[in-house]
Structure formats: structure tokens, C-alpha cells
Amino acid sequence: MIFSIENILNPEEIEFIVENLSQANFVDGKVTAGWHAKLVKNNAQLEKTSKPYSDLETIVKKALERHPLISSAILPKLIHSLLFSRYEIGMSYGTHTDNALMGKPNYWRSDVSFTVFLSCPSSYSGGELVMESTDGDRAYKLEAGSAIVYPSSMLHRVEPVTEGVRLVAVGWIQSLVRDPAEREILFELDTVRRSIFSKDGKTLEFDLLSKTHANLLRKWSE
């Protein structure tokens, strides 16, 4: 499942992040790309050892963790390998797949990828995130503060920026439940039981669905 989530970051958080990025040191994005992705990755990213990195990383992680759709649909165990990327005119990231395991020697798994848009879409041209699938391509260019969350198993690319600057935060989530089909079942059960609760309260149906949700989570989580 692909989710577009509005307003993950509030305007103050966006302003704080963008302001800090405007004064920070960026390096070539190839340093964190896999050997094949390096061939098509052409962007700049915030140096992880630079001063604002850990503060900015915390803001984005907390924003994702507090969002109810992320906790229900993605079931994060770990949000990791966060990058702040900058695409100037002519920069792009060609078709690639994200590494399955990151953060050597920890080997965090990438089950789900996310992009949090930080620039106002009217401030730059191009720079769409394109998801590639068997029935064609779909391009995303969201408002500043909104995020797209998608399976890390998908091929994707970033179109060349032709005007302005595209700033994004990207990162990966290791889910408690590795199988996307199992995550989908848990998400739907959770959605239904919450809907029953909001309509009728803590009924027997709610309790039975909660029990099934909990038992499947117990069975599938790792």
C-alpha cells in the first residue's frame, strides 16, 4: 500500500528544518547509495556529522511516530537511516530499488520507505517522486510537510529538477511485521475495530476484533 499523508510536519517544524538546512553543510548523495544506485543518484545530502543533523532527525522521527496512520498501518519497530536531501537544477535520482538492509553492522531492514516533502511544490519545477509498477508510473509532488510512504520493494525515481530547489527528508522503517499482506490485514482489523468503537463503544464485537488483532500481532511480529 502507498499512503500520502498530509501535514506530518507542522509549519513551525518545516520552517525550523528548512532554516537549519539553509546554513548546513551538504555532501554528495552517492556516499550512502548502494553500488548500483550510485550510478543514477545525483543529489546532495546533509552531512550526518553536521551540527543540526540529530535535532532535525529527531523532529522527523517524532512526527512519523506520532501519526496514527503510521502506527496502525506500518507498525514501526525502527525508523532509521534518515537523510535530508537537496536537489538543485539538473539533479535527479534515476530508477533504483532501495537497499534491503542498511546501517551495517546493524542490518536494519527497509520494509517501508518514506519521503517527507520540505519545499513548497510551486517553488521548484520537476523533482516528482515517481513510483514504477506493472501498470505504469505514478508521480507524487506533495505540499511541504506532507509525506509519501511506500513499500521499499518498489522501483522508483526522482525526476530532474529544472527550476528551484527540492528539499526532502527520506528514510526507512523496519516494521514489527515484515510481510506487507500481514500488515494490511492488521491495518484493516484495526480500522474496523476503531470504527465500531467510535459508533457503539466497547461492544462484544469490538472486544473480539481487538482479541483477533492482538493475537495476529503476537503471531506475526518479530
The binding site for Ni ion (CB under 5 A) comprises 98
Radius of gyration of the chain (CA): 18
Q: How far is the CB of 151 from Ni ion (least distance, A)?
A: 12
- Rounded to a whole number of angstroms, the minimum distance from the CB of residue 96 to Ni ion is 6
Going by C-beta distance under 8 Å and a sequence separation of 6 or more, which residues neighbour residue 49? Answer: none
Report whether 113 contacts 150 (CB < 8 A). Answer: yes
Name which of 173 and 209 has its Cβ closer to Ni ion.
173
State which residue, 98 or 159, has the beta carbon closest to Ni ion: 98
Considering beta carbons, is residue 48 or 194 the nearer one to Ni ion?
Answer: 48
Least distance between Ni ion and beta carbon 15 (Å): 26
* φ, ψ at 142 (rounded to 5°): -100, 165
Residue in the structure block whose three cell numbers are 527497509: 110
Task: State the Cα–Cα distance between residues 77 and 135, nearest whole angstrom.
Answer: 31
Cis peptide leading into 68, omega within 30 of 0? no
Minimum distance, C-beta of residue 53 to Ni ion, in the bound complex (Å): 19
Q: Measured from the CB atom, is 57 or 98 closer to Ni ion?
A: 98
